[in-house]
Amino acid sequence: MEATGSTNRITINIGPVHPSTHGVLKFVVDIEGDTMVKVEPEIGFVHRGVEKMAEGRNYNSYTPVIDKLDYIAALNWEVLYASVVEKALGVSLPPRAVYIRTLMCEMQRIMSHLLFVGHVGEDLGNTTLFMWGFRERELLMDLMESVSGGRLAPMYVSMGGVYYDLPKDFESRLLPVLHTIEHRVLNEYKALSYENDLFIARTKGVGVISREFAYKYGLTGPNIRGSGIARDLRKDEPYLAYDKLDFDVVTEKGGDAYARFMIRINEILESIKMMRQLVKDMPAGEVKTKVPWFFKIPPKYTFVRQETPRGEAAMYMVTNDDTKPYRLKIRSPSFYVMQALRELMVGHKVADLVAILGSLDPVPGEIDR
């Protein structure tokens, strides 16, 4: 015990090996009693030099590396990376490929949010919610496997489209799954999470992100939509097929952990709505524009940003007339979230650390790159 002076301040390390850090993160927390007075997040435990790796391999062989960035929503990042390269190359996609990509992005978003729901449950000590989140995610995992062959790292998006067409019975398998998930999220999760008094007691008013705070730390995505900022790149700067879809940007007023939880719950429902439209309007035709395996991109700066389940992700690629990028900068939304945690957590109880961290949904693979 390191009690300093007359105050009963103790420094504890939460992480890097800790059940609630969702991977390998570390918090150096000073506590007085049970209250956190200083929080210093430390990252970099799973740093793999992803940006350096980009400079060493050609555009196509870099896609598997992208899969390991955000391993919860790998497909969204694959799409983002492919979009950057395609934009630099000037390739346009066949309409079916656009729809398939949008469909898979939304599927991945539901999977990510289901995992989030489960993890918040687990962090608050409700293992049943955790298991249920995984149970529903598993249904989509099976579909993902039937489409791409991979479950966690699909490696499905190719330059100029997607590698394979959807399986023939995909629609007939997808729609019942969507119905099941919608039913369970609306009815079964309700009693266990968002209408449960103990759950509300633990999440309401915890880790409140105000509009100013979100601006200060550059937070994006569901985390700020919980603070009433209606910003969603899918709506504001439509990419893929999002401009043809009818969906709402979900916002909540509270800005606390509960609001962020509700954002994810409602986004699952919105995504289900979108997926139904996508399946209905799915055009026929090719799924891929022919792009050679090796290609060179003339010197230019290419910037693309998209909405991943964790917020606004972006890639800024500098090319140099070579078969590999000269520099690829990756903006990961969770990186900014981690930075904000040092201020967000101060004054809360130790038990709230996991609630706040869980409600912000960071993924270490994406933070550390």
Partner 1 sequence: MESLDRIKGRFPSMLKDVPSTNDNEAVVELADKTQLRKIVAEAKKYFDLLFMLMVVDRPPKTFEMNYVLSSYSKKDLLTIRVNIDRDEAEIDSIAGIFTSAEWEEREAYDLFGIDFRHHPDQRRILLPEDWPGHPLRKDFEVTEEVKNWTGLDMKF
Partner 2 sequence: MMYSIIYNYLTGYFSPLVSEAGAILLMFIIGFGITLNAPILLGWVDRKLSARIQSRYGPVYTGKFGLLQNIADVMKLLGKRFITNSVVDRLVYNAVPIALATVAFLMVFIIPWGNNDLTIIPLPYNLLFIYVFLAVSPLFVLLAGWGQNNKYSMLGGFRGAAQITTYELSLLIMLISVAVLSGSYNISTIVSAQSSVWYVLYLPITFAVFWMASLAITERAPFDIPEATQELQAGWKIEYSGIRYGLFFIAEYVRLLVVSMLIVYLFLGGWNGPLLPNYLWFWIKAVVVTFVMMTLRWVFNRPRIDQLIKLGFNIMLPLSVINLLIIGGLVVF
Which own/partner pairs from 68-71 qualify as long-range (CB within 8 Å, at least 24 positions apart)?
A: 68/153, 68/365, 69/330, 69/332, 69/365, 69/366, 69/369, 70/308, 70/310, 70/313, 70/332, 70/334, 70/363, 70/365, 70/366, 71/152, 71/153, 71/363, 71/365
Q: How many residues does the chain have?
A: 369
CB of 172 to partner 2, least distance (A): 24
One DSSP character per residue, 96-130 reads HHHHHHHHHHHHHHHHHHHHHHHHHHHHTT-HHHH
Residue from 16, 20, 61, 146 touching partner 2 (CB under 8 A): that is 20
Residue from 32, 40, 44, 131 touching partner 2 (CB under 8 A): that is 131
One DSSP character per residue, 287-321 reads SB----SS--B-S-EEEEEEEETTEEEEEEEE--S
> What tokens were used for 280?
């209905």
| Closest-CA residue to 113 (of 233, 255, 223) | 223
Residue from 62, 99, 132, 189 touching partner 2 (CB under 8 A): that is 132
Residue from 100, 129, 245, 282 touching partner 2 (CB under 8 A): that is 129
Interaction of residue 127 with partner 2, rule CB under 8 A: yes
Interaction of residue 59 with partner 2, rule CB under 8 A: no
Q: Write the DSSP symbol of residue 193.
A: T
Task: For partner 2, give the closer residue by CB, 20 or 323.
Answer: 20
Give the contacts of 123 (CB within 8 A, at least 6 positions apart): 20, 354, 355, 357, 358
Residue from 29, 43, 82, 129 touching partner 1 (CB under 8 A): that is 43
Task: For partner 2, give the closer residue by CB, 152 or 191.
Answer: 191
Interaction of residue 331 with partner 1, rule CB under 8 A: yes
Interaction of residue 215 with partner 1, rule CB under 8 A: yes
Q: What are the backbone dihedrals phi and psi of residue 301, each rounded to the nearest 5 degrees, phi first?
A: -105, 125
CB of 130 to partner 2, least distance (A): 8
Site track for partner 1 across 299-318, x = CB under 8 A: -xxxx-x------x-x-x-x
Interaction of residue 86 with partner 2, rule CB under 8 A: no
Interaction of residue 89 with partner 1, rule CB under 8 A: no
Task: Specify whether the CB–CB gap between 110 and 268 falls below 8 A.
Answer: yes
Interaction of residue 217 with partner 1, rule CB under 8 A: yes
Interaction of residue 165 with partner 1, rule CB under 8 A: no
| Closest-CA residue to 181 (of 81, 91, 271) | 271
Task: Specify whether the CB–CB gap between 344 and 353 falls below 8 A.
Answer: no
Within 23-42, the residues that bind partner 2 by CB under 8 A are: 31, 34
Is the Cα torsion angle 32, 36, 38, 44 positive or negative in sign? positive
Interaction of residue 109 with partner 1, rule CB under 8 A: no
Interaction of residue 92 with partner 1, rule CB under 8 A: no
Residue from 7, 13, 49, 171 touching partner 1 (CB under 8 A): that is 49
Interaction of residue 137 with partner 1, rule CB under 8 A: no
Burial class (CB in 10 A: 0-12, 13-18, 19+), 292: exposed
Choices 36-44, 146-154, 238-246, 349-357 (CB under 8 A): range interacting with partner 2: 349-357
Q: Which residues bind partner 1 (CB under 8 A)?
A: 43-44, 47, 49, 51-52, 215-218, 229, 231, 236-237, 300-303, 305, 312, 314, 316, 318, 326-327, 329, 331, 335-336, 338-339, 368-369
Q: Which residues bind partner 2 (CB under 8 A)?
A: 1, 10, 12, 18-20, 31, 34, 121-129, 131-132, 135, 191-192, 196, 198-199, 201-202, 349-354
